Each structure stands twice: as C-alpha cells, then as structure tokens.
Amino acid sequence: MEVWLGALGSFFSHHLYLYAIVGVYVGLIIGAIPGLGPVFALALCIPITFGLEPLAAMIALTAVYCGTVGGGSVSSILLNIPGTTGSISTCYDGYPLAQQGRAATALSVSFTSSIVGGLVGPLSLAFLGPLFGRWATKLGPIEFFSLVLLAFALVAAASKGDTLKGMLMAALGLLFSFVGMDVITGTSRFSFGNLYLMDGIPFSPAVIGLFAFPELIAIALRGKSVVVNSDKVGHQKGEVWEGVKAVLKAPFTIIRSSILGVFIGVMPGVGINVSNLVNYMVEKKLSKEPETFGKGNIKGLIAPEVANSATATGSLSTAFALGIPGGSSDAILLGGLMIFGLTPGKAFFDTSISLFFPTLIWGMLFAPLAMIGALFLVRYIAKVANIKHTVLVPMIALLSIVGAFANRGQVFDIWVMIFFGVLGYFLVKAKYPLANLVVAMVLGKMLEAELNRALRISGGSYTAFLESNISLVALVISAAILLSAFIDFKKLGRRLICSKQ
C-alpha cells in the first residue's frame, strides 16, 4: 500500500501528470478524425517520445491510446462515420441523438462513459494483470474458435428486424473477410492477382465507406444539416450535464460493459473493434425496450463507449504479463516498452523491484480524468451538427477520402471506400442491417484461422470442440442464441404449458 502511495507522490512531483494530459488531448483530436485510429496515433507519437524518460514516455503513450479510443465517438455521433474501429456501434444510437438536436447530450454521455471505462481498464490491469495473463494461455484454438463463434452468433442473431437479412449480411461479410491470403495455407484467395488485396480488404476504408456514404447522400438529398428538426435544439449547457447524469444513472450497464470489455480485451487478437459491437448487442438483448435501440437510446451509447475504453487498457494485461500483444496498438506499446529497456513478464508487475508499474497505473488512471476537461468543450463541438449541408457534405466527402487514403497511402483504398459506400447506400435503402456485415468482416478471418488450426491439432475430428469445457459451454450458448433468433422461446413455452393444461 505504501508503495502505491509513494508512486502517487512521485507521479505528481515529477510532473508526469502533464504527459498524461497532453497525451489524452492529442489522442482525442486524432481519434475524432475518421480513418485515423489508435495504431496511427501511437505510431505517430512513438518517435516524439524518444527524448523522454521511459516512465514519462509510457504514460504519454497510454494516454494517447486512451484519448484516441475516447475521441473516436466524436465523428460517430456528429457525422455517422466511425472515428476509430472501436466506435462503430456508437454511430447506431449516437447519430440519431445528434439528428434529434441532442448532439451535446450524446457527446457528454460518450465522453463520460469513456472516462468511466478508462478507469476500469488500469484497475483491472493493476489487480488482475498477471492472473488474466495466465488465464489467456489456457485458450487454445479450440476454445478460441468457440468463443469467437459466440461473439459472432450474438451479433448475427441480434438484427434490427429481419433475421434472414441479418444472416445473409453475416454470410456476405464472411465472404468479404476471406479475400486475401489465407493464414493457414498461404493461398491468395479472391484477390485476382491484385497486390493491394493480398492482405485482405482494407477494413478502415470499407467501414468509412459503409457508414459515411448513406448519410452523405441522405444529407445531400434532404438539403439541411445533420439536425433534422432545428426548432428542437435545446439549451446546450443543460444538455451536457444531463448527459453526465444519464451515465451515472445506469450502473448495471457500466458494470456489465466494463467486465465484458476487459474480458474481450484479455483475449489476444480481439480488441476494441469486437468489444464495442458485442457490448452493444448484449445491451440490446438484455434491454426491456430493444426497439428503441438505433433511435437514440442512451444505454446503447454508454455500453460500447465504456467497453472500448475498458478494452483498450485492459488488453494490456496479456501484453505486459506475457509479452504477447493482443493487437497492433498493443504491439506498438509493447515495442515502446522494449525500446526503453523494460521487459514484460512477471517481473514487470513486481512492485518491490521498481516503482515503474504503480506510477504507470496512476498515469493510466489520470488520463481518463483529464478527459473531464473535454466535457467543457462539448458545447462547441456539438455545433458541428448544425452546419449547413452545402458546406458539411463536401467536408465529409473530403475527410472520408483522406481518411481512407491515410491508412496505407494507396489510392486503391479510396476505390475500396467508394465501392463499399455505394454498396452500403443500396443496402441501407433495402433495409439490410450493416452491423452484421461489419462484424462478420472483422471476425471472419479469425474464425476460419482458429477452425483450421483446431482441426489440424485434433487430426480432422470435430468432436474435439465438445471435449473442452470452455468450448462446450460457448458452443451451447451460441446454439441457443442462434435458435432464439428463429424460434420465439417465450411463445413456445407458453404454448407448451397451455396445451399441457
């Protein structure tokens, strides 16, 4: 305990809190721009931190990570374009709120949720880090496949309206995810000799296209701003506080999303992109009024934002405990750690060796708190929703193009964005749910890779999936969820009971 207090003292006396504050705001700005995410921000900031001492550099980098994930919700809410892959489901309820003229409330809800989630991550890292690390090693390909299938089933089954259309979108998304080089056999599939498709369809441009174009076209046609009914715009200052209060009034959502967020983060290979979608779907399933989701339900905004912030720092457990990064952002942070001469592993958490770990945790806890300052800016940021379409649509178009381009520096990615944009426009018109498409594209490659790995290990036998405990439980729950999409269990139960009488 004294170690932690001592670390806190040194955190403030060495002015390390300044790095946390600057890092968070840099991250917020970068995250708000569509197409630029945590990986981009971290890659940009690592060279800047070379001149700093290791502790300051690590605090700055984790603060940038936290800020980027939090800032992704800004363009999701205001423009319906996910700022980062961790804010895809923030669009579903955030944008309708902006359309109703409640952009300030939506932004303050999302910032407050990011603050709360950003506090949970470091706490779980501090107390449960090594434990989670050891637990992650127990997951083999068999368990992994079943868990990813569970996430997939959850999202595939929870479609808005037509279940069949949702399933078709999931299947299509899977097919899109198989484009590129297969991880197991190395065959280049469906890439037609195109060099740029060898690594698969670039995800960020595709998502920007899918989300930006339908709204862009809609705004252009409608001829006004994002806000549909301009007379409904209320007093902005009151709305910000209203948003903060709304988050604090939903403790179960916060607890559920944090736990699930950290849990997903600990699994290597899945990150903020999966956790925000899964948490949104879980929240929708467990809600008493699922039809209000997608029309501006605040809980649908809280869940993904808490989850993605919790996942961001919580996923560092496996990275710091085992030296196995969970994703590209973790890899960069781990790389940063090693550049400064520190080694991940059990010794990293040992407070008797150095004060590094406790001070880093204080830094990671301070960063979300620094985001409270952003709440004061929400009033002004929310005004974007009132910009007229004459100016807004070209700006969205330009940002989408540059955002799609910035990832790889290839003009091909802009074509990918346009393709998915046109596809997305017609899909939305025909009322096909896009969420399933996106999730299937994210999870498809992982699902297939783990299936093939598991089958190679078990020698081609499918019963291996039923022999592992974790896998069996996950498979049973997946089956139940998929069946519940087609069969209404409540009606069935009532009919059985009535007929027995």
Q: What is the binding site for other proteins (CB under 8 A)? A: 30, 36, 40, 44, 161-162, 164-165, 167-168, 171-172, 174-175, 178, 182, 184-185, 187, 189-190, 213, 216-218, 220-221, 223, 389-391, 393-395, 397-399, 401-402, 405-406, 409, 411, 414-415, 418, 421-422, 425-427, 429-432, 444, 447-448, 451-452, 455
Using the minimum distance from each CB to other proteins, give the nearer residue, 102 or 160. Answer: 160
Smallest separation, CB 201 to other proteins (Å): 14
Residue 388, SS3 per DSSP: coil
What letter would DSSP give residue 495? H
Smallest separation, CB 383 to other proteins (Å): 17
Using the minimum distance from each CB to other proteins, give the nearer residue, 179 or 371. Answer: 179
Residue 467, SS3 per DSSP: helix
Using the minimum distance from each CB to other proteins, give the nearer residue, 51 or 409. Answer: 409
Smallest separation, CB 64 to other proteins (Å): 13
Alpha helices in 342-433 (DSSP H): 346-349, 356-370, 372-375, 378-381, 389-406, 411-429
Using the minimum distance from each CB to other proteins, give the nearer residue, 364 or 392. Answer: 392
Smallest separation, CB 454 to other proteins (Å): 12
Using the minimum distance from each CB to other proteins, give the nearer residue, 304 or 403. Answer: 403
Residue 236, SS3 per DSSP: helix
C-alpha to C-alpha distance for 82 and 212, rounded to whole angstroms: 8
- 47, 25 Cβ separation under 8 angstroms: no
Using the minimum distance from each CB to other proteins, give the nearer residue, 141 or 363. Answer: 141
Using the minimum distance from each CB to other proteins, give the nearer residue, 107 or 399. Answer: 399
In the numeric block, which tokens belong to residue 148?
A: 């990813």
Stated length of the chain: 501
C-alpha to C-alpha distance for 367 and 114, rounded to whole angstroms: 11
Centre a 10 Å sphere on the Cβ of residue 313 and count the other Cβ atoms it contains: 30
Which string of DSSP letters, residue by residue, matches 257-310? HHHHHHHHHHSTT--HHHHHHHHHHHHHHH-S-GGGTTTT-THHHHHHHHHHHH
Smallest separation, CB 312 to other proteins (Å): 21
C-alpha to C-alpha distance for 314 and 265, rounded to whole angstroms: 6
